[in-house]
A and B are shown apart, each in its own frame.
Chain A
Amino acid sequence: MAEAKIPLWEVFIRSRNGLAHKHVGSLHAADAGMALQAARDVYTRRGEGLSLWVVPSAAIVASDPADKEMLFEPTASKIYRHPTFYEVPDDVGHM
């Protein structure tokens, strides 16, 4: 398939009100309109979503896997950042 004519798109679905759009996969489509239709057809066949985003894959800037130690390892020792040091009253429910 000619990548230039039918480029790759990333698909994001929001499954319920109040939740964020979540990445679910990718697809090929000639333009944004067809990408949105293909996303509907390929990724929402079982009632997965209420809203769709499609984004050209080429527009995504990704971190370099070679940088993962520098980027992500320093957080491992900072357990005080996790909100586990205080009690959540039962009445608060889901946070």
Chain B
Amino acid sequence: MSTTSIALAESPLLALVLRRADDALILGHRLSEWCGHAPMLEEDIALANIALDCVGQARALYEYAAQVDGRGLTEDDFAYRREAHQYRNCLLVEQPNGDFAATIVRQVLFSAFIDPYWRAMMGSADAALAAVAAKAEKETAYHLRHAAEWLIRLGDGTAESRARVQAALDDLWPYAGEAFESDPAEAGLVAAGIAVDPASLRPAFDRTIARVLEEATLTRPTGSGAQSGGRRGRHSEHLGFILADLQYLQRAHPGAVW
């Protein structure tokens, strides 16, 4: 494997697959940073489990991306040989872990989007994506349940847990909307029954968030200052540091295996 970055001609299908794959890889990487550092042993394992689910989804999607690209690239080429501006993940998943409350809020916001997304994609006309969706949906349903149960307990918990989780919600809320942006490039795929228009999932997301926040006795932020750009490769500064960590070994020692 070479150390140089790959250049891609992103067909609408390839772009769609990379959005899903990059969301999963970057969130999985973030969650893996908790390994050995979580507040309690049980949650350390729980977060590592979610991270492994995400990385597994990313692998399946990168494999499919390689197939769609059709030039003999591998899943590793997509993970290790693209630069930050070639990554298509939403900004939410690259945000730092912060305290445990921030990690839980990020997980709830993302899972409340991706779980109904995969459920809808189980009916995709693209058999490969439908198969990934069927496997991923069972995983993301649990991620949502797990993170939401924590959010409820942190919100309706002690004064400190409540203050921290409300602050995390206020910080991360502006990143929640990006996942629901319709992309004109996806319109053809939506019309062909291959993709689901993310905007159509917003009501399901809003219902989930309303239910969880009510039980958590938290206040839904009202600010409308939405952050976006990740799908077009315009990322926050954090992604570069993530990729430096993630890609160092393959960039320095091309093709290294163990």
Sort A-B residue pairs by CB-CB distance and give the 9 closest, nearest first: A38-B42, A41-B46, A41-B45, A42-B45, A27-B42, A41-B49, A37-B146, A42-B42, A33-B149
What size tier do the contact residues of chain B reach?
A: 10 to 19
Contact between A28 and B153, CB atoms less than 8 A apart: no
Bound CA span A11–B168, Å:
33
Bound CA span A46–B43, Å:
17
Bound CA span A28–B45, Å:
13
Q: In the complex, which of the residues A34, A41, A42 contacts B153, with contact meaning CB atoms closer than 8 Å?
A: A34
Residues of chain B within 8 A (CB-CB) of A37 are 46, 145-146, 149
Contact between A29 and B153, CB atoms less than 8 A apart: no
Contact between B42 and A41, CB atoms less than 8 A apart: yes
**Chain A residues within CB distance 8 Å of chain B:** 1, 6, 27-31, 33-34, 37-38, 40-42, 45
Residues of chain A within 8 A (CB-CB) of B46 are 37-38, 41-42
**Chain B residues within CB distance 8 Å of chain A:** 40-43, 45-46, 49, 142, 145-146, 149-150, 153
Residues of chain A within 8 A (CB-CB) of B145 are 37
A37 to chain B, nearest CB (A): 6
B148 to chain A, nearest CB (A): 11
Contact between B153 and A30, CB atoms less than 8 A apart: yes
B162 to chain A, nearest CB (A): 15
Residues of chain A within 8 A (CB-CB) of B43 are 38
Contact between A45 and B149, CB atoms less than 8 A apart: no
B116 to chain A, nearest CB (A): 21
Contact between A6 and B149, CB atoms less than 8 A apart: no
